[in-house]
Amino acid sequence: MIEAKNLNIEFPINTFKNFSLRKSLIQNVTRSLKVGGKISKLEKKNLSVTALSELNFKIKEGDRVGIYGPNGSGKSTLLKTIAGVYPPTGGEILVTGKINNLLNIGFGFNSEASGRENAKFRLILAEYDDKEINDILERIKDFSGLDDYFDLPIKTYSSGMMFRLGFAIISQINGDIVLMDEWLSAGDSAFLEKVNNKLKDILKTTKILILASHSKELIKSNCNKILQLQNGKIDYYGDIKNDF
Amino acid sequence: MLNELINAIKKYKIWTYLSFQEIKTRYVGSYLGPFWITITQIILVISIGYIYGGIFSIPPEEYMPFLTCGFVYWNLISGILNEGTRVFGSNRNYLNEIKISPLLFCLKNVCSNTIVFLHNFLAVFVIFYLTDYEYTSRFFLSFIGLFFICINGFLAIITIGIICERFRDIPSLITNILQISFFVTPIIWDPINFKSRAVIILQLNPFWHFIEAARAPLLGREVELYTYLTIIMLTFVNFFIAYFTYKKFSNKIIYWLQ
């Protein structure tokens, strides 16, 4: 379950030092924003961007929530806040359940290390024990179809191969709450089919899905609820209406 | 913070894996690999040993062991602190993607520098062999010094890492402080040879005591009780500074990294 109470996320802009233009700039900018969160002054001294402002929502088991909104409306920030990357700067967020973070499937890769080593590290991060790791590594190798490349440094990989490795890793890591930023797709058509099938499997079995997207179609076909964001605030949260 | 620290220590697999990976990556494609660290150390000690031994009029067989033992520990201290200035920034690709305690990366920093230290330490055996220096039973007491250097290094970089992310001028300042400290800490000069008042003032330098506690036993010298008491006191001070800095600012680290 995920519950947000008056959740606020503000990014300080420390490089933005006091200068005379500042006040006028803030006044002008805040009036007519079409993208992004409100730019404001934090603690009187520094500028800050309010990425999420006073969010209140509850996501229960079984919910499939689509996050929808224009660029800079706070979709990715909200996903990362749920993932625990950003601690709230105001209010709170309660998350129960293990997160399966598909936001960046290739994070933390070391280009000098082999596919196997990188996969192993990700499994260590996910706190699997040594016995499980060896089994899972074989499954990752099989799923990725990388064969001998699996033991070569990933700097030799093409971007499609990198995606294969990243996706194969996350396909073997379980969680209760799946976080996704747009549909994962890259690689050749054969692999893409595998990806789509696997993703559908994951989404079917997961307790909660949170999927951020610009695509109404994608949200309609995968979600039963929608959370619409505008300038870091909730516009609408509830079941998907027919006119969406 | 204490719970978080215990949790981070329990996840030793993560930070030790990262440490070994880092050293491996650094020497990828090299035959001698991390043993270059040892060789570099030996070459440096022998060359500086002859030059400065001449300047200070100390026979090389006495001076070189002193120099080696000082160098290996100084390299450890300055390595930890220098990398500590970007301990969070250089790991943003993790901190920015998943929920992970920043303390893990402080542990990783100390761990990888300790691995480098162990390679460096081989130079001590080589130089002792070349100069026929005698081992004493005190030798192992050196690891008490090593222990305190690691603990204090870890605590210091929590504070330094946080301050350096918030104020981007501090890393350069710390590099400067470390450079000066190298000269005012007895590493290339032996305080035994300088009994002036200036030396007493220089003992206010905290590095002095850590180096002394770790080096003296290797050379068969006795560590004064005063030195041990000083480093224990410094450890407490260091702990409280790290504790309160982390408690107050740990939630802001990720925002300062953006």
Residue B82 is encoded by which pair of tokens? 């220098």
pLDDT exceeds cutoff 50 at B200: yes
Return the half-sphere exposure (C-beta side, CA atoms, 13 A cut-off) of residue A49. Answer: 20
- The pLDDT-based confidence of A190 (bands split at 50, 70, 90) is confident
Which phi-psi region, left, alpha or beta, contains residue B99 (left: φ > 0; alpha: ψ -120 to 50)?
Answer: beta
CA B25 to chain centre: 21
Distance CA B80, CA A243 (A): 59
DSSP code at position A68: E
CB A69 within 8 A of CB A22: no
Residues 6+ apart with CB under 8 A from B115: B19, B20, B23, B34
Residues 6+ apart with CB under 8 A from A67: A75, A78, A79, A210, A211, A212, A213, A226, A227, A228, A229
Of the listed ranges A34-38, A100-104, A142-146, B146-150, the least confidently predicted one is: A34-38
What homologous superfamily does CATH list for A2-97+213-239? P-loop containing nucleotide triphosphate hydrolases (3.40.50.300)
Q: Please, what sign has the CA dihedral across residues A14, A18, A20, A23?
A: positive
Q: How confident is the model at residue A158 (pLDDT cuts 50, 70, 90)?
A: very high
Domain ranges of chain A: 2-97+213-239, 115-206
* pLDDT at residue B109 tops 90: yes
Question: What per-residue confidence (pLDDT) applies to A17?
Answer: 54
Instruction: Work out the average pLDDT over A42-47.
Output: 59
Q: How confident is the model at residue B212 (pLDDT cuts 50, 70, 90)?
A: very high
B26 confidence band (pLDDT: 50, 70, 90) = confident
Q: Are strands A64-68 and A208-213 parallel, antiparallel or unpaired?
A: parallel
Which tokens hold the place of A218? 């994608």
| Statement: residue A24 has pLDDT above 60 | no
Say what the pLDDT of residue A34 is: 65
Q: Which residues of A touch B93 (CB under 8 A)?
A: 107-108
Region B107-116: what's the mean pLDDT? 96
Confidence of residue A19 (pLDDT cuts 50, 70, 90): very low
Decide if A121 and B18 are in contact by the 8 Å CB cutoff.
yes
pLDDT tier, A191 (very low <50, low <70, confident <90, very high otherwise)? confident
Within this chain, domains A2-97+213-239 and A115-206 share the same CATH topology: yes
Percentage, residues of chain B above pLDDT 90: 74
Q: Which residues of B touch A83 (CB under 8 A)?
A: 98-99
Task: Work out the average pLDDT over B207-214.
Answer: 94
Whether A68 has its CB under 8 Å from any CB of chain B: the answer is no
3-state secondary structure A14-57: CCCCCCCCHHHHHHHHHHCCCCCCEEEEECCCEEEEEEEEEEEE
Q: What is the pLDDT of residue A7?
A: 93
Element (H, E) at A215: none
- How far is residue B167's CA from residue B146's CA, in Å, rounded to a whole number? 30
* CB A56 within 8 Å of CB A6: yes
pLDDT at B225 > cutoff 80: yes
Instruction: State the pLDDT confidence band at B31, using cuts at 50, 70 and 90.
Output: confident
How many angstroms separate the CA atoms of A20 and B40, rounded?
A: 53
pLDDT at A92 (0 to 100): 94
Output the CA angle B106-B112-B116, nearest 5 degrees.
Answer: 140
Indicate the helix (H) or strand (E) that contains A106.
none
Please give the DSSP secondary-structure letter assigned to residue A114.
Answer: B
**pLDDT, tens digit, for every residue of A50-74?**
999 999 999 999 899 999 999 989 9
Contacts for B228-231 with beta carbons within 8 Å, 24 or more apart? Answer: B228/B144, B230/B206, B231/B145, B231/B148, B231/B152
Tokens at residue B21, please? 């990976």
Question: Can you tell me whether residue B135 is helix, strand or coil?
Answer: coil
The CATH number given to A115-206 is: 3.40.50.300
B interface mutation test: which of A100, A110, A181 has the most B CBs within 10 A?
Answer: A110
Q: Provide ipTM, 2 decimals.
A: 0.84
Tokens of B136: 């004493």
Which helix (H) or strand (E) element contains residue A226? strand A225-230
Q: Kindly determine whether residue A112 and residue B96, on different chains, have CB atoms separated by under 8 Å.
A: no
Name which of A135, A186, A193 is nearest A165 in CA terms: A186
Q: At A22, is the pLDDT very low, low, confident or very high (cuts 50, 70, 90)?
A: low
> Residues 142-201, chain A: which have Cβ within 8 Å of B?
153
Q: How much is the pLDDT for A46?
A: 67
Amino acid at A187: G
Mean pLDDT of chain A: 86
Contacts of A95 in chain B (CB under 8 A): none
pLDDT of residue A45: 58
Q: Find the mean pLDDT for residues B73-94.
A: 95
